[in-house]
Structure 1
Amino acid sequence: MININSKKPNNPIMIGKIGRAYGILGWIKVFSFTEKKEKIFFYFPWFILKKEKWETIQFDKWKKYKNNFIIHIKNISDRSIVSTFTNSEIFIEKKILPILKKNEYYWDDIIGCDVFNIKKKYLGKVINLIRSQNSDILIIKNYLQKNISEKIMIPFIHKKIVCNINIKDKIIVIIWN
């Protein structure tokens, strides 16, 4: 079931993405961005932005499929209809996430933080994080230096590289050149 007249979610946070249709009966692949992949099914409602309008999606079934999942959207049993959702990002309202303890944060809180080294040199702004086998990685872009179009990738290792994270002021201090 899709609710096209949905209002914009308050403080939306992306938790996944919809992939390609699976089979002919209205199933579609879903990729979870939550730390524990199954947790995506604990947060509702799901919102997607389609043709500049917010919609909510409800599904009636889900299954683990390889390293991700497939879902069946309520009242849709047609591959061509469900295919229109391919590449849609899945959002929830941030307020439904669990409240974190002191010095804990969500990745979404890190994105947009200004990054400085311990000598107070501005390195750039966090534009993304990626998970690797050994550690998470900050992706930083310096918008102030016009001649540098490259992104800096810095391991997100507490105390060895990341000295301080101030979510309130959106500042991260790292040990880096």
Structure 2
Amino acid sequence: MRSEGERLVVGRVSGVYGVKGFVRVFSDTEPRDAIAEFPRLWVERGGSWECLEVEEGRAHGRGVVLKFMETPDREAAHALIGCTLAVERDWLPPPEEGAFYWADLQGLRVETMDGAELGRIHGFIQTGANDVMVVKGDRERLVPWVRGLYVLDVDLEGGCVRVDWDPDF
């Protein structure tokens, strides 16, 4: 998930599905079909945001399909292709103990155990085995998000993630 002010981007509309107004969605949520659990989503169209009511949603193959109340047919759904989907930050439940939303980690300073600053968290990559932090500083570094091995401490209030990582790597 990426932050967009008080909204968190959770996906985008990638196409239409059928003739009844469903859209195909590329979801950034984990699990992917969790995006269908929100009763409404913010949709960014032409630089402005509008809130649409989710009528129905489900996993479909390797993706997700959603039906908004405001898209009664394929033509209305087609107008949403390429739109960004977001939720309000306060619509999300608090993360479990020791877990974090990626959006809350974006921009945090990353430093080694010795206090050498590596840069700031620019994003994350899902690899299947474990997530990987994209850290941008004097150069880009990819640091595996493995708590206790590489990621030693996360201090949200202090704005810092401490890692066991060689700055030259």
Q: 2:51 aligns with which of 33, 50, 56?
A: 56
Structure 2 partner of 1:171: 160
Extract unaligned runs of 5+ from structure 2: none
Distance verdict in 2 for CA 1:25–1:44, change over 3 Å: closer
Q: Aligned runs of 1:155-170 on 2, under 5 Å?
A: 155-170=144-159
Distance verdict in 2 for CA 1:174–1:123, change over 3 Å: same
| TM-score, normalisation: structure 1 | 0.82
Q: Do 1:118 and 1:175's aligned partners in 2 also have CA atoms closer than 8 Å?
A: yes
SS of residue matched to 1:17: strand
Q: Identity of counterpart residues, as a percentage?
A: 18
- Structure 1 window deviating more from structure 2 (77-86 vs 44-53): it is 77-86
SS of residue matched to 1:85: coil
Structure 1 partner of 2:91: 96
Structure 2 partner of 1:85: 80
Distance in 2 (CA, whole Å) between partners of 1:76 and 1:45 is: 13
Distance in 2 (CA, whole Å) between partners of 1:42 and 1:61 is: 9
Distance verdict in 2 for CA 1:116–1:36, change over 3 Å: same
The answer to whether 1:135 aligns with 2:130 is yes
Superposed displacement of residue 42, structure 1? 2.4
SS of residue matched to 2:9: strand
Distance in 2 (CA, whole Å) between partners of 1:137 and 1:119 is: 21
Distance in 1 (CA, whole Å) between partners of 2:95 and 2:75 is: 41
SS of residue matched to 1:160: coil
Structure 2 partner of 1:5: none
Distance in 1 (CA, whole Å) between partners of 2:70 and 2:94 is: 34
Residue by residue over 1:49-82, the C-alpha shift from the partner in whole angstroms, topping out at 9 and shown as x without a partner, is 2222110122323232111111222243443432
SS of residue matched to 2:66: strand
Extract unaligned runs of 5+ from structure 1: 1-8
Count of matched residue pairs: 163
Q: Do 1:43 and 1:97's aligned partners in 2 also have CA atoms closer than 8 Å?
A: no
Structure 1 partner of 2:30: 35
Q: Aligned runs of 1:108-147 on 2, under 5 Å?
A: 108-142=103-137, 145=138
Distance in 1 (CA, whole Å) between partners of 2:96 and 2:59 is: 30
CA-atom RMSD, angstroms? 2.0
Distance in 2 (CA, whole Å) between partners of 1:15 and 1:81 is: 21
Distance in 2 (CA, whole Å) between partners of 1:10 and 1:137 is: 24
Q: Do 1:26 and 1:76's aligned partners in 2 also have CA atoms closer than 8 Å?
A: yes
